[in-house]
Chains A and B, each alone.
Chain A
Amino acid sequence: MSSTFETIANIIAETCDIPRDSITPESHAINDLGIDSLDFLDIAFAIDKAFGIKLPLEQWTQEVNDGKATTEQYFVLKNLSARIDELVAAKGA
Protein backbone atom coordinates (compact mmCIF):
# COMPACT_ATOMS: atom_id res chain seq x y z
CA MET A 1 0.00 0.00 0.00
CA SER A 2 1.40 3.39 -0.94
CA SER A 3 2.13 5.95 1.74
CA THR A 4 -0.02 8.99 2.29
CA PHE A 5 2.69 11.16 0.77
CA GLU A 6 2.95 8.96 -2.32
CA THR A 7 -0.80 9.14 -2.80
CA ILE A 8 -1.01 12.91 -2.54
CA ALA A 9 2.10 13.40 -4.66
CA ASN A 10 0.52 11.30 -7.39
CA ILE A 11 -2.72 13.25 -7.06
CA ILE A 12 -0.87 16.56 -7.39
CA ALA A 13 1.17 15.35 -10.36
CA GLU A 14 -1.93 14.17 -12.17
CA THR A 15 -4.24 17.02 -11.21
CA CYS A 16 -1.82 19.90 -11.81
CA ASP A 17 0.38 18.37 -14.51
CA ILE A 18 3.48 18.73 -12.36
CA PRO A 19 6.36 16.25 -12.93
CA ARG A 20 6.11 13.64 -10.19
CA ASP A 21 9.85 13.66 -9.51
CA SER A 22 9.73 17.38 -8.66
CA ILE A 23 7.30 16.74 -5.80
CA THR A 24 9.02 15.92 -2.51
CA PRO A 25 7.89 15.71 1.13
CA GLU A 26 9.54 19.09 1.65
CA SER A 27 7.63 20.76 -1.20
CA HIS A 28 5.29 23.59 -0.27
CA ALA A 29 2.21 23.17 -2.42
CA ILE A 30 1.75 26.91 -2.89
CA ASN A 31 5.23 28.40 -2.68
CA ASP A 32 7.24 25.62 -4.36
CA LEU A 33 4.75 23.93 -6.67
CA GLY A 34 2.78 27.06 -7.59
CA ILE A 35 -0.60 25.53 -6.90
CA ASP A 36 -3.30 28.18 -6.58
CA SER A 37 -6.45 27.98 -4.49
CA LEU A 38 -8.67 26.82 -7.34
CA ASP A 39 -6.31 24.04 -8.35
CA PHE A 40 -6.04 23.08 -4.71
CA LEU A 41 -9.81 22.46 -4.68
CA ASP A 42 -9.25 19.75 -7.29
CA ILE A 43 -6.52 18.28 -5.12
CA ALA A 44 -8.71 18.47 -2.03
CA PHE A 45 -11.54 16.72 -3.88
CA ALA A 46 -9.21 13.92 -4.96
CA ILE A 47 -7.75 13.61 -1.44
CA ASP A 48 -11.22 13.58 0.13
CA LYS A 49 -12.24 10.78 -2.22
CA ALA A 50 -9.02 8.79 -1.84
CA PHE A 51 -9.00 8.87 1.95
CA GLY A 52 -12.72 9.15 2.71
CA ILE A 53 -12.23 12.37 4.65
CA LYS A 54 -13.07 16.05 4.36
CA LEU A 55 -10.01 18.25 4.44
CA PRO A 56 -10.96 21.22 6.65
CA LEU A 57 -9.67 23.80 4.17
CA GLU A 58 -11.78 26.61 5.52
CA GLN A 59 -10.62 26.03 9.08
CA TRP A 60 -7.00 25.90 7.95
CA THR A 61 -7.36 29.07 5.92
CA GLN A 62 -8.96 30.85 8.86
CA GLU A 63 -6.17 29.76 11.18
CA VAL A 64 -3.55 31.05 8.76
CA ASN A 65 -5.41 34.33 8.25
CA ASP A 66 -5.74 34.76 12.02
CA GLY A 67 -2.02 34.12 12.53
CA LYS A 68 -2.72 30.99 14.55
CA ALA A 69 -0.97 28.73 12.06
CA THR A 70 1.47 28.99 9.18
CA THR A 71 0.88 27.77 5.66
CA GLU A 72 3.83 25.42 6.17
CA GLN A 73 1.85 23.48 8.77
CA TYR A 74 -0.76 22.54 6.21
CA PHE A 75 0.76 22.91 2.78
CA VAL A 76 4.26 21.45 3.08
CA LEU A 77 3.47 17.97 1.82
CA LYS A 78 5.00 16.00 4.69
CA ASN A 79 2.86 18.08 7.05
CA LEU A 80 -0.20 17.74 4.84
CA SER A 81 0.37 13.98 4.89
CA ALA A 82 0.48 14.04 8.69
CA ARG A 83 -2.74 16.06 8.84
CA ILE A 84 -4.41 13.56 6.52
CA ASP A 85 -3.23 10.65 8.66
CA GLU A 86 -4.72 12.39 11.70
CA LEU A 87 -8.05 12.87 9.93
CA VAL A 88 -8.12 9.25 8.80
CA ALA A 89 -7.31 8.08 12.34
CA ALA A 90 -10.00 10.35 13.80
CA LYS A 91 -12.52 8.96 11.36
CA GLY A 92 -11.76 5.41 12.44
CA ALA A 93 -11.77 6.22 16.15
Chain B
Amino acid sequence: MRIEYFQLIDRIVDLNLADRKISSEALVPTASTIFEGHFPGYPLMPGVLLIEAMAQTSGWLVVAMNHFQRMPFLAAVKEAKLRTFVKPGELLSIDARLEHDGSGYAIVEAKIRVERKLICDATLTLRVLDFPNAEMEREMRDRAATIGLTVEAPADG
Protein backbone atom coordinates (compact mmCIF):
# COMPACT_ATOMS: atom_id res chain seq x y z
CA MET B 1 0.00 0.00 0.00
CA ARG B 2 1.39 3.40 -1.00
CA ILE B 3 -0.90 5.23 1.31
CA GLU B 4 0.26 8.76 0.51
CA TYR B 5 -0.33 8.15 -3.20
CA PHE B 6 -3.79 6.71 -2.63
CA GLN B 7 -2.58 3.44 -4.08
CA LEU B 8 -4.29 1.42 -1.40
CA ILE B 9 -4.77 -1.95 -3.08
CA ASP B 10 -1.74 -4.24 -3.26
CA ARG B 11 -3.19 -7.12 -5.24
CA ILE B 12 -6.35 -8.65 -6.55
CA VAL B 13 -6.79 -12.02 -4.88
CA ASP B 14 -9.88 -13.19 -6.73
CA LEU B 15 -12.20 -11.93 -9.42
CA ASN B 16 -15.43 -13.69 -10.27
CA LEU B 17 -17.33 -11.87 -13.02
CA ALA B 18 -20.16 -14.43 -13.04
CA ASP B 19 -20.87 -13.82 -9.37
CA ARG B 20 -19.94 -10.14 -9.74
CA LYS B 21 -17.44 -10.34 -6.86
CA ILE B 22 -13.86 -9.35 -6.22
CA SER B 23 -11.39 -9.80 -3.38
CA SER B 24 -8.25 -7.80 -2.78
CA GLU B 25 -5.52 -7.40 -0.21
CA ALA B 26 -3.83 -4.34 1.17
CA LEU B 27 -1.05 -4.19 3.73
CA VAL B 28 -1.19 -1.12 5.94
CA PRO B 29 2.36 0.26 6.11
CA THR B 30 4.16 0.22 9.42
CA ALA B 31 5.28 3.83 8.96
CA SER B 32 3.73 6.80 7.21
CA THR B 33 3.52 10.54 7.68
CA ILE B 34 -0.24 10.03 7.94
CA PHE B 35 0.27 8.26 11.25
CA GLU B 36 2.11 11.27 12.62
CA GLY B 37 -1.17 13.11 12.68
CA HIS B 38 -3.61 10.20 12.97
CA PHE B 39 -2.87 10.00 15.82
CA PRO B 40 0.23 11.31 17.61
CA GLY B 41 1.34 8.50 19.91
CA TYR B 42 -1.44 6.18 18.71
CA PRO B 43 -1.21 5.47 14.96
CA LEU B 44 -4.40 4.26 13.31
CA MET B 45 -5.42 3.73 9.69
CA PRO B 46 -7.91 6.58 9.06
CA GLY B 47 -11.48 5.41 8.62
CA VAL B 48 -11.86 7.51 5.48
CA LEU B 49 -8.99 5.55 3.95
CA LEU B 50 -10.68 2.27 4.86
CA ILE B 51 -13.70 3.55 2.95
CA GLU B 52 -11.38 4.55 0.11
CA ALA B 53 -9.89 1.04 0.09
CA MET B 54 -13.41 -0.38 -0.25
CA ALA B 55 -14.16 2.13 -3.01
CA GLN B 56 -10.98 1.26 -4.92
CA THR B 57 -11.69 -2.46 -4.69
CA SER B 58 -15.26 -1.81 -5.83
CA GLY B 59 -13.95 0.32 -8.65
CA TRP B 60 -11.67 -2.45 -9.89
CA LEU B 61 -14.67 -4.77 -9.93
CA VAL B 62 -16.68 -2.33 -12.03
CA VAL B 63 -13.72 -1.74 -14.36
CA ALA B 64 -13.32 -5.48 -14.82
CA MET B 65 -17.05 -5.96 -15.44
CA ASN B 66 -17.10 -3.33 -18.17
CA HIS B 67 -13.83 -4.59 -19.69
CA PHE B 68 -12.08 -1.33 -19.01
CA GLN B 69 -14.40 0.65 -21.22
CA ARG B 70 -15.47 3.09 -18.51
CA MET B 71 -14.26 4.56 -15.24
CA PRO B 72 -16.07 4.43 -11.88
CA PHE B 73 -15.98 7.42 -9.52
CA LEU B 74 -17.14 7.31 -5.90
CA ALA B 75 -20.43 9.20 -5.55
CA ALA B 76 -22.06 8.10 -2.29
CA VAL B 77 -21.22 6.15 0.84
CA LYS B 78 -24.08 4.62 2.77
CA GLU B 79 -24.45 2.52 5.85
CA ALA B 80 -20.74 2.81 6.50
CA LYS B 81 -19.69 1.19 9.74
CA LEU B 82 -16.15 1.39 11.09
CA ARG B 83 -16.21 -1.35 13.66
CA THR B 84 -12.65 -1.75 14.89
CA PHE B 85 -9.38 0.16 14.83
CA VAL B 86 -6.83 -0.81 12.20
CA LYS B 87 -3.18 -0.43 13.16
CA PRO B 88 -0.02 -0.12 11.06
CA GLY B 89 1.22 -3.44 9.69
CA GLU B 90 -2.18 -5.13 9.51
CA LEU B 91 -3.29 -6.92 6.36
CA LEU B 92 -6.68 -5.92 4.99
CA SER B 93 -8.81 -8.45 3.12
CA ILE B 94 -11.34 -6.54 1.07
CA ASP B 95 -14.42 -8.03 -0.60
CA ALA B 96 -16.86 -6.28 -2.90
CA ARG B 97 -19.98 -7.49 -4.65
CA LEU B 98 -21.87 -5.67 -7.37
CA GLU B 99 -25.39 -5.25 -6.09
CA HIS B 100 -26.73 -3.39 -9.12
CA ASP B 101 -25.40 -2.42 -12.52
CA GLY B 102 -27.40 0.68 -13.40
CA SER B 103 -27.28 3.07 -16.33
CA GLY B 104 -24.24 5.19 -15.58
CA TYR B 105 -23.93 4.03 -12.00
CA ALA B 106 -23.24 0.96 -9.90
CA ILE B 107 -24.18 -0.04 -6.37
CA VAL B 108 -21.58 -2.14 -4.55
CA GLU B 109 -21.55 -3.82 -1.15
CA ALA B 110 -18.05 -3.86 0.33
CA LYS B 111 -16.39 -5.22 3.45
CA ILE B 112 -12.94 -5.27 5.01
CA ARG B 113 -11.71 -8.02 7.29
CA VAL B 114 -8.49 -8.44 9.23
CA GLU B 115 -7.75 -12.07 10.09
CA ARG B 116 -11.39 -12.90 9.26
CA LYS B 117 -12.72 -10.32 11.68
CA LEU B 118 -15.10 -7.81 10.11
CA ILE B 119 -13.53 -4.37 10.37
CA CYS B 120 -15.85 -2.21 8.30
CA ASP B 121 -18.53 -2.35 5.64
CA ALA B 122 -20.50 0.03 3.47
CA THR B 123 -22.78 0.36 0.48
CA LEU B 124 -21.13 2.45 -2.20
CA THR B 125 -22.59 4.25 -5.19
CA LEU B 126 -20.19 4.72 -8.08
CA ARG B 127 -20.85 6.89 -11.09
CA VAL B 128 -19.60 5.09 -14.18
CA LEU B 129 -18.40 7.50 -16.86
CA ASP B 130 -16.25 7.53 -19.96
CA PHE B 131 -12.57 7.91 -19.21
CA PRO B 132 -11.92 11.66 -19.17
CA ASN B 133 -8.72 11.25 -21.16
CA ALA B 134 -6.40 8.65 -22.65
CA GLU B 135 -3.71 9.25 -20.06
CA MET B 136 -5.97 8.28 -17.20
CA GLU B 137 -7.13 5.17 -19.02
CA ARG B 138 -3.52 4.17 -19.67
CA GLU B 139 -2.52 4.81 -16.06
CA MET B 140 -5.45 2.74 -14.81
CA ARG B 141 -4.56 -0.13 -17.11
CA ASP B 142 -0.97 -0.01 -15.89
CA ARG B 143 -2.08 0.03 -12.29
CA ALA B 144 -4.44 -2.87 -12.91
CA ALA B 145 -1.56 -4.91 -14.33
CA THR B 146 0.58 -4.06 -11.31
CA ILE B 147 -2.00 -5.36 -8.84
CA GLY B 148 -2.79 -8.45 -10.92
CA LEU B 149 -6.13 -7.46 -12.38
CA THR B 150 -6.48 -9.16 -15.70
CA VAL B 151 -8.41 -6.97 -18.08
CA GLU B 152 -10.00 -8.79 -20.96
CA ALA B 153 -10.82 -7.18 -24.25
CA PRO B 154 -14.53 -6.60 -24.82
CA ALA B 155 -16.33 -9.38 -26.66
CA ASP B 156 -17.08 -7.15 -29.63
CA GLY B 157 -13.43 -6.11 -29.92
Interface, chain A (partner B; CB < 8 A): 38, 41-42, 44-45, 48-49, 54-59, 61
List 11 A-B pairs, Cβ < 8 Å. A41-B102, A41-B125, A44-B102, A44-B105, A45-B100, A45-B102, A45-B107, A45-B125, A49-B100, A59-B103, A61-B104
A40 (CB) vs chain B CBs: closest residue: B105
Please state if A38 and B107 are interface contacts (CB–CB under 8 Å): no
Chain B hits for A45, CB < 8 A: 100, 102, 105, 107, 125
Please state if A48 and B102 are interface contacts (CB–CB under 8 Å): yes
Please state if B100 and A48 are interface contacts (CB–CB under 8 Å): yes
A39 (CB) vs chain B CBs: closest residue: B76
Chain B hits for A59, CB < 8 A: 103
Q: Which one of A42, A49, A58 contacts B104 once the chains associate, using CB atoms below 8 Å?
A: A58
Please state if A57 and B100 are interface contacts (CB–CB under 8 Å): no
CA of A25 to CA of B49, assembled, Å? 43
Please state if A38 and B102 are interface contacts (CB–CB under 8 Å): no
The smallest beta-carbon distance between B122 and chain A, in angstroms, is 15
A56 (CB) vs chain B CBs: closest residue: B103
Given A41-B105, A54-B103, A57-B102, 20 other A-B residues pairs in contact with their CB atoms under 8 A: A38-B75, A38-B125, A41-B76, A41-B102, A41-B127, A42-B76, A44-B103, A45-B100, A45-B107, A45-B125, A48-B100, A54-B102, A55-B102, A55-B103, A56-B103, A57-B103, A57-B104, A57-B105, A58-B103, A61-B104
**Contact string against A for B residues 126-149, beta-carbon threshold 8 Å, 1 for contact and 0 otherwise:** 010000000000000000000000
CA of A54 to CA of B101, assembled, Å? 8
Chain B hits for A57, CB < 8 A: 102-105
CB within 8 Å of A: which B59-110 residues: 75-76, 100-105, 107
CA of A77 to CA of B107, assembled, Å? 24
Chain A hits for B127, CB < 8 A: 41
